[in-house]
Amino acid sequence: MIRTLLIPGLDGSPAPHWQHWWERVDPTARIVEQKSWSKPCPDQWLTEIAGAVLVHPGAVLVGHSLGAIAVARVLSQWPQLNVGGALLVAPAETAHDDRIAAFGKIPEGPLDVPTIVVASQNDPWMEQSRAQALAESWDADFIDMGDAGHINVESGFGPWPEGRAMRDLLWSLPAMPRRLAAMVRPKAKPQGGLICSA
């Protein structure tokens, strides 16, 4: 039974990336494949992720880089999907690279599933303060990884068992319908100038 859906970012997560390693050692985890990792089409990526959730309801979504942004967009666009939680690692700023600019403005607003955002202090793809602000807007918990770069192979992350431990934290949270979760979870503090987008 698949309980974890791994969502790589731009150019995928080939070996020895921690997502590739995770899929190999955890029989309950599967990478959501895309038609093109190097030329991402937002509509196609989001449809593949949503389709995987329909096949594996209740799974935790683990997104890295652009994959984290894709997960946030899926949760914003299709709130009816049965998602167990989201682990969003090293989110990438969509304005950072022309190849991911088509994903547009990053959604800002509660994701209504248990969510953890993991970011480093020296990530070239997004400043940590921006990742923290997104975590607040998403009503997510935030983990500061220190000087961990983009939390990928280039910054020294091959096998990353701590990531699986973070996923396990999401599994341990009591499940509740997303609409109920939105009603009982404290609202994020208003952020000046933030606009919600689908």
* Residues of the chain above pLDDT 90, percent: 72
Tell whether the model's pLDDT for residue 96 goes beyond 90: no
| pLDDT tens digits, 33-62 | 999 999 999 999 999 999 999 999 999 999
Tell whether the model's pLDDT for residue 198 goes beyond 80: no
Average of per-residue pLDDT values in the chain: 87
Greater model confidence, 8 or 193: 8
Alpha helices in the chain, H assignment, sequence order: 18-25, 42-55, 66-77, 128-137, 161-172, 178-184
In the block, which residue shows the tokens 């959730």?
53
- One-letter identity of residue 60: V
Tokens of 149: 């770069």
CA 11 to chain CA centroid, nearest Å: 16
Task: Report CA dihedral (132, 134, 136, 138) to the nearest 10 degrees.
Answer: -140
CA 40 to chain CA centroid, nearest Å: 16
* Mean pLDDT score, 73-92: 96
Tell whether the model's pLDDT for residue 192 goes beyond 50: no
Is residue 93 within 8 Å of 130, Cβ to Cβ? yes
pLDDT band, very low/low/confident/very high, at 174 (cuts 50, 70, 90): low
Tell whether the model's pLDDT for residue 180 goes beyond 80: no
pLDDT computed for residue 181 by the predictor: 41
Q: Which domains, and CATH codes, for the chain?
A: 4-184 (3.40.50.1820)
pLDDT computed for residue 155 by the predictor: 86
Residues in CB range of 26: below 8 A, 6 or more apart: 4, 164
| pLDDT tens digits, 113-156 | 999 999 999 999 999 999 999 999 999 999 999 899 999 888 88
For 156-195, b/e burial (b = at least 16 CB within 10 A) is ebeebeebbebbeebeeeeeeebeebbeeeeebeeeeeee
Tell me the range of 95-99, 137-141, 170-174 where mean pLDDT is highest. 137-141
Q: Which residues pair with 64 in a beta bridge?
A: 89
CA distances 87 to 20, 91, 164, 178, Å, are 16, 10, 10, 16
Tell whether the model's pLDDT for residue 175 goes beyond 90: no
CA distances 35 to 10, 45, 146, Å, are 12, 8, 34
Q: Which three-class secondary structure state does DSSP give residue 27?
A: coil
d(CA 65, CA 49) in angstroms, rounded, equals 15
Hey, how many other C-beta atoms are within 10 angstroms of the C-beta on 43?
8
pLDDT band, very low/low/confident/very high, at 176 (cuts 50, 70, 90): very low
